Structure 1
């Protein structure tokens, strides 16, 4: 059993036990065993039921006791296997129950683990004791699991301190970065969003002694989100209101802007909604944006430049990740030199074209369609922390060549035309078309590398299914004359995939 000091909590009533179950549900990961100790009536089943229902996001889910079946399984976001070993005849029966197999992809909750204690030496041990009208709980856990539990309990304390002591917590999503999100429902029925994004620390240096995130000018803390979101709202755009913040812990409690998507019921993109998102960009690019954005008293966020180093290291993701994946070998020095030579004049053009505030991930997953609102309030913007001052065309390309949705050439042109028309007279259409083509080529070059990195480094193979779409977008972008040399190189290297 782990020997670190236990986490000790007081649970004055059943509601506190249910909240602890929600907190543990946010902390567990596939491969965890949660061993629940306590005499009859101590609340082991109540705690297990709360964990299962929280992961299922179903407070009414039927969770029968597995006393007679010994194990009950739930095919959820994280598969859960609920064991009750009270009727276990001998410890060796654990082999027949398949504990090691279920832990390959899921979590085991084990009541009466004492019946086979040798199997649970490295488990998370939750011990419940009677204390007055309530319970005292002691949690012993291995270092990594303990850190997750401590962090989840800190989130609960943050919610309590923010004025929501009875709030429920549900997993919302984990994005392609270090951030995670929860849906918070208050006792009054209001929905909020918890952003959990610890400050970036201890990242490996990749160039000039700096980590990738700093070179690419990615946000280092949630202060960036607060500053940009507040500035967008002040300029009339529907970014989330900030309800509470703990900058040191990387926690934000923000407005829930809704669930509407840019997709029609059949899963296809809505040309009307994409066009409106293009017009919103035109409105943004017609404004002047400050470089210093207030976060709270005494704290400001300085919006970075989308500079040469950032463009270079993002493009090189194709060489670092896609080339080894597609060709089975690292990119050679000669290939890297030629790649850099071809991109150098194109990046120079990006540095000198029209500049504005660029959100950098402006596409369907990060824009909420709000049918009940009017004007640009219909478009809720939720991913703003990596904003930089860069090519205005970048976000148009991000939207019109949505990395997660098949956007036809017809809808792409609808977006571009809506944007250009909204820019009004005097807009340099030819300069925009050139910047649009280069930013589209750059963004999709970067994404080819990122999606392979997510699959190979981060264990998310589902991203590989998007590669053909990204290669199709690259082929479209390459039609502009300014990209003729790059186009020929990509064709020769096979970066554009199967064009059949």
Structure 2
């Protein structure tokens, strides 16, 4: 986590020339984050190096969210050629760590996160690409492309595509509106901030937003890849969403399909992070992801996909299929 060589000059031009640069975080992409400290001022430096990353979508969605009174970080300075963006610092209190320390607040905090989504879903979608069939299929294909070879399985690719084609109409033909889908809306990307607007929640990591079904971000929040959300909490929050957003009757089936779609994608991504990017720590999340995927596959709407999994990936090749490679 050494700051990019261009950072001091960039910060100097932005009026932060005397600031200290302290490592803050990296993530599953090429992006890195640093805290910039100058006396009593703090900001966050995003390093999104081209050609691997493009900060423009983050800036565009941040500005869209801010314009509608959601708490996305203010953009303080930018250098798109270098991939450097100076943004507002929301502090250190992520929802995940808060709930680790105060688990009795889980329902209250999640209810606020649900209320935020309901507010977002009342708005027209941002000017972003559609979450369409091609994207859904490309994403679920990651499980077949990365996980299956990693455990030595040759699977029926054509049947996999057909199975998803059979269930995706539950999402595509839904009566729900097309909304802005943040795509990584979960406890590690939501900050607790001292602000009356946006339910006191700060939003991060939304640069991959697309226009799609409102159930997707609920899945991201309530079937969290990195945190165990009790089924009772998931059920309570879905009931809360139904109370505040009044989704159509087909919402439950779409939620199950998008749950299976997202969880299959993440199994593939986390395997790729190990195989391609030498980040084996993500393998420790796979048992949770398989458990979530199997719960979604139990929904009647997922029968074609569930049949494919039953025929192609035996139970003993799922939850702990890569356990021997997980770091101690």
- Answer whether TM exceeds 0.5 for this pair: yes
Which structure is larger by alpha-carbon Rg, 1 or 2?
1
Residue 375 of structure 1 deviates from its aligned partner by 5.0
Closer, same or farther: CA 200–312 of 1 in aligned 2, 3 Å: farther
Residue 324 (structure 2) aligns with: none
Residue 158 (structure 1) aligns with: 10
- 8 Å CA contact retained: 1:282, 1:420: no
Residue 275 of structure 1 deviates from its aligned partner by 2.1
Residue 341 (structure 1) aligns with: 162
Closer, same or farther: CA 409–357 of 1 in aligned 2, 3 Å: same
- Which has the larger share of helix? 2
Residue 282 (1) aligns with residue 118 (2)? yes
Residue 228 (structure 2) aligns with: 406
- 8 Å CA contact retained: 2:274, 2:281: yes
- 8 Å CA contact retained: 1:172, 1:183: yes
- Residue by residue over 1:453-498, the C-alpha shift from the partner in whole angstroms, topping out at 9 and shown as x without a partner, is 1112111111111001001111221232111221232233336635
- 8 Å CA contact retained: 2:70, 2:197: no
Residue 90 (structure 2) aligns with: 257
Residue 40 (structure 2) aligns with: 189
Residue 439 (1) aligns with residue 223 (2)? no
- The equivalent position to 1:364 in structure 2, one of 187, 196, 203, is 187
How far apart are the structure 2 equivalents of 1:221 and 1:385?
9
How far apart are the structure 2 equivalents of 1:200 and 1:243?
22
Residue 226 of structure 1 deviates from its aligned partner by 0.7
- Residue by residue over 1:122-174, the C-alpha shift from the partner in whole angstroms, topping out at 9 and shown as x without a partner, is xxxxxxxxxxxxxxxxxxxxxxxxxxxxxx22111000000011000011111
- Which has the larger share of strand? 1
Residue 290 of structure 1 deviates from its aligned partner by 4.0
How far apart are the structure 2 equivalents of 1:153 and 1:483?
50
How far apart are the structure 2 equivalents of 1:196 and 1:345?
41
Residue 193 of structure 1 deviates from its aligned partner by 0.6
Residue 222 (structure 1) aligns with: 55
SS of alignment partner, residue 362 of structure 1 = coil
- 8 Å CA contact retained: 1:455, 1:464: yes
How far apart are the structure 1 equivalents of 2:11 and 2:187?
29
- 8 Å CA contact retained: 1:262, 1:274: no
User: Following superposition of structure 1 onto structure 2, how do residues 133-172 of structure 1 map, counting pairs within 5 Å?
Assistant: 152-172=4-24
- Residue by residue over 1:253-286, the C-alpha shift from the partner in whole angstroms, topping out at 9 and shown as x without a partner, is 0001121122424485822212211121111001
**TM-score, structure 1 normalization:** 0.60
Residue 310 (1) aligns with residue 143 (2)? no
Residue 94 (structure 1) aligns with: none
How far apart are the structure 1 equivalents of 2:137 and 2:250?
22
- 8 Å CA contact retained: 1:400, 1:407: yes
User: Following superposition of structure 1 onto structure 2, how do residues 368-407 of structure 1 map, counting pairs within 5 Å?
Assistant: 368-370=191-193, 372-374=194-196, 376-407=198-229
May I ask how many residue pairs the two structures share in their alignment?
313
Residue 413 of structure 1 deviates from its aligned partner by 1.1
- The equivalent position to 1:174 in structure 2, one of 4, 7, 26, is 26
- The equivalent position to 1:232 in structure 2, one of 37, 57, 65, is 65
SS of alignment partner, residue 316 of structure 1 = helix
Residue 482 (1) aligns with residue 307 (2)? no
SS of alignment partner, residue 270 of structure 1 = helix
How far apart are the structure 2 equivalents of 1:159 and 1:375?
29
How far apart are the structure 2 equivalents of 1:318 and 1:233?
35
Residue 313 (structure 2) aligns with: 494
SS of alignment partner, residue 6 of structure 2 = helix
How far apart are the structure 2 equivalents of 1:267 and 1:336?
45
How far apart are the structure 2 equivalents of 1:318 and 1:289?
29
Residue 324 (structure 1) aligns with: 149
**TM-score, structure 2 normalization:** 0.90
Closer, same or farther: CA 498–168 of 1 in aligned 2, 3 Å: closer
Closer, same or farther: CA 498–164 of 1 in aligned 2, 3 Å: closer
How far apart are the structure 2 equivalents of 1:483 and 1:162?
52
Residue 115 (structure 1) aligns with: none
**Structure 1: runs of 5+ lacking an equivalent:** 1-24, 28-151, 202-219, 292-302
How far apart are the structure 2 equivalents of 1:472 and 1:267?
25
SS of alignment partner, residue 365 of structure 1 = coil
Residue 377 of structure 1 deviates from its aligned partner by 4.2
How far apart are the structure 2 equivalents of 1:488 and 1:475?
12
- 8 Å CA contact retained: 2:288, 2:319: no
